[in-house]
Structures are given as C-alpha cells and as structure tokens.
Amino acid sequence: MKSLNGSARALVDTTAGEISREIYVNDDIYREEQERLFARAWLFVGHESQVPNAGDFLVSRMGEESVILTRDRAGKVHVFLNSCRHRGMKVCRYDDGNTKSFVCPYHAWSYDLDGRLIGVQDFENSYRPPFDRTDWGLVEVAQLAIFRGTIWATWDKDAPSFDDYLGEARFALDLGLRPWDGGDGETEVLGSIQKWIVPCNWKLIAENFAGDALHVVSHRSVDMVGIGPTQGPGRRDDYGRPHLAAYPGGHGVNYGITPPVKERSNYTASPVTAAYFQRCWEKRLARLGDKAGIVPLIGTIFPNTSFHLQQPRTILVSHPRGACETEMWRIYLVDKEAPEEAKRFLRLYYIRYSGPAGMTEQDDMENWSYATSASRGRIARRYPYNYKSGLGTEAGRDPVIPGFATPRNTSEQNPRILYKRWAEYMDAEDWSAL
C-alpha cells in the first residue's frame, strides 16, 4: 500500500465494526497521518504551571515536531517550532528551564522570548537588504488556546477555535480540570513529565482511553494486589456507575457517576488526603449540586491526548514516532491548594498506578506492544480488528451528560467514533471538508 488516496474510509468500516490492521502498522499511512492529522488537529502542549514565570520554557512535542512552550516578558504564552530558521538546528536542547533568550548552538542566531530574531552573527558586515530579521523569527503555531490551565495549539490557521473543536466534549474537560472542590481554583503539575517509548501505534493508546471497558479484565492482578488509595485491595477510589459518551469530533469519555451523598472519601490509606478530599467534596456538592458526582474518569481528546481526571489524575499524550512506536508523556495533576502531605501521597499513588513503572500501565503496555508485533506480518494484516461490541445498542442522549451515550459500558462505540473521525481527517483535503 502506497498512499490512501482518499480511501481511508475503506479501511475503517465503523458500520460493520471492522478496521484494517494496516492503519496500525503501515509506514505510508503513518507518514500521511503526520500531514493530514497532526498538522491540522488541536494538540496538547503543556500546562500553565510548567511555565509560571517570564522566561520559563518547556520543550514539548506536537506530533513528531519538537516545540518550545514559553512565557514572554509580558506574560504571554507562546509555542514555537524548535528549529532554527538559519539551518534548522534544534534551538533549545534542554527539557525545561528559564532563559532570557534562545540562542542557537550552531551559528548563534538568537531569538527573543516572543520568537523575534534579535541576534545574527556579523549582521552589520555580512547581510544586505532586502534581508530583514523580522521575517526570520521562530515559526509560531497558527492558534493557541488555554483551557483551565492546559495549553493547546494547532499548526492550521483554518482549524476551528479550540472550543468548537471540543464541541460538547468541553463538558468533560471543564469538569475534570477544575480542582476537586469543583471551583475555579488552580491545579498544578506534580514534578516533571514522565516519558517513555512503547513499541505500538499511538492509536491503540488513544482508543483504549476513549472507551475500552472490556480490557479491564487485563488489570485483574492489579486489582488484587491493591495499589489504590484505600487500605486493602483495589486500585482506585469508588467512581460509581460508568457512563460512556462519544463526540463527533472523535473524542470519547468514560464518566463515573456517584450519587451526591454527603460522605465521600476512599482515601483511607492517608487520613490527611481523606480529610482534604472530604472538605473538597462538601464544597463541590454545594457548587455543582446533582452534577457533583459526575467525573470524567478516562477519556481521549482526539487525536492523542488521553486522561484520567478523577484519581489518579493525569494527562497522557501519545506522541507518534513511527507506525509502530509511540513516545508516551505523562503529567500528574494535583490541586494547588492541597496540603503538601496529600500531594506527596497522591504522587506515590499516581506513580504506582501510571507511568512506565505503574502497575496498571504495564498491563496496558504489554497488550499494546504484543498486539502490534502480532499484527505486522503479511498474513496477520489480512484480518481486520473487531470493534463490534455494542453495535446497534446506541442509546442516544443522556439528559445531563452531553454526547452520544450507550447503555452498555462494554460497548466499543467510542473507539468506533474515534476511527470514523480519523478516516474523515485522512480523506479530507482541508478543514473546510471536515
């Protein structure tokens, strides 16, 4: 297979619930994704708490591109392509830090925090008009949005606003990114980003988070060991009744709904954390009423930003590195106001659960990487994957939670909608066709 040539829909039959293995292992399709998907969609770049002060920077990624997230002297957040306009050198080779300007290590072109080219070696003697330094600043993203502390960007000036891109999935992010008391306070990133590489296609991760309740069986051993915040077995707190919802933009969320009762603390392994969450819960009940018990537990904002927004509370970006290789970046979020002891406790709990050494994450990584190696062969590729669970059982809409709901938590509705959107991107020439 050379190129899709407008035929992605033929590989992704979401009506029958069958998807060709090619889209997970084929290098040509992977290359086309970089152009048609990652160069167009809104992508997660970082969190405001990672660049609180002027001159703070963080090197992040958008698809395969390295980008610099920084805050200029006026406090404005920017996202630049991390590639020098002179001869392409990676301008910033550090993970994060604070600087007055970005000086390219190769021939020392220097850029201000707002991306302007301010220094060119031997400028007065060697460069003549019409060379104009103002034309050679760092390449900046076409659009940037900040949503409850999270920073998103797109390279496509014709992309819709971030709000329109989210559509009704905004409900999930808006609820999930608030502090646990349901107010307008801040959350912050705990420690640094955890980064590791998994030999699988990024879409296996995106669909898993978008709504794959069937795979919970693979975490049986973790449930038995008990890595959770409660004394005894279990790996998380009580999330109540699950509710799957999918969105036409390709986003999928698995909500947990608990009744808005007065007592709600499962953090018996840490009394300080338990008391903090109980205080938060009372405020949350007062603020959000019946909606207090709705939490976006797990989800994916299309294409590759996944999250757990109850506990553990993390954002996971699956950065593509090749058809069969993904670089996973995880951050852990915590309420800024939480007591230090609760932050310490949560950090350890989150790491036990998620991240490269996290026990739940290891189950998932094993599944994704073996599924990939067992799907690469010429024979294996002839047989599509099966996404038929819940076909024909879509329920329509819930009165409170927006999105297409399904009565069966084991439905593969959310992955089906994610792949439908994927095929639309791959076949569309530009945003007007999307």
Give 133-159 as a DSSP string: GGGGSPPB-SEEEEETTEEEEES-TTS
Interface with Fe ion, residue 361, by CB under 5 A? no
Q: Check if the beta carbon of residue 5 is closer than 8 Å to that of residue 32.
A: no
Query: Judged by CB, which is closer to Fe ion: 276, or 368?
Result: 368
Interface with ligand FES, residue 92, by CB under 6 A? no
Site string for ligand FES, 99-118 (x = CB under 6 A): -----x-xxxx---------
The site partner of 364 among ligand FES, Fe ion, none (C-beta below 5 to 8 Å per kind) is: Fe ion
CB of 105 to ligand FES, least distance (A): 7
Interface with Fe ion, residue 212, by CB under 5 A? no
The site partner of 100 among ligand FES, Fe ion, none (C-beta below 5 to 8 Å per kind) is: none
Distance CA 183, CA 208 (A): 29
Q: Check if the beta carbon of residue 110 is closer than 8 Å to that of residue 118.
A: yes
Distance CA 144, CA 60 (A): 14
Cα atoms found within 13 Å of the Cα of residue 75, Cβ hemisphere only = 0
Least Cα distance to 309 among 287, 328, 335 occurs for 335
The site partner of 388 among ligand FES, Fe ion, none (C-beta below 5 to 8 Å per kind) is: none
Element (H, E) at 281: helix 271-288
Interface with Fe ion, residue 364, by CB under 5 A? yes
Interface with ligand FES, residue 87, by CB under 6 A? yes
Distance CA 143, CA 162 (A): 9
Stretch that binds Fe ion, among 278-286, 315-323, 361-369, 423-431 (CB under 5 A): 361-369
The site partner of 408 among Fe ion, ligand FES, none (C-beta below 5 to 8 Å per kind) is: none
Q: How many residues bind ligand FES (CB under 6 A)?
A: 9
The site partner of 405 among Fe ion, ligand FES, none (C-beta below 5 to 8 Å per kind) is: none
Residue with tokens 């152009």: 35
Q: Is the peptide bond before 296 cis (omega within 30 degrees of 0)?
A: no
Interface with ligand FES, residue 86, by CB under 6 A? yes
Looking only at the bridges linking them, the beta strands covering 43-47 and 252-257 are: unpaired
List residues binding ligand FES (CB under 6 A): 84, 86-87, 89, 104, 106-109
> Which residues of the chain form contacts with Fe ion (CB under 5 A)?
364
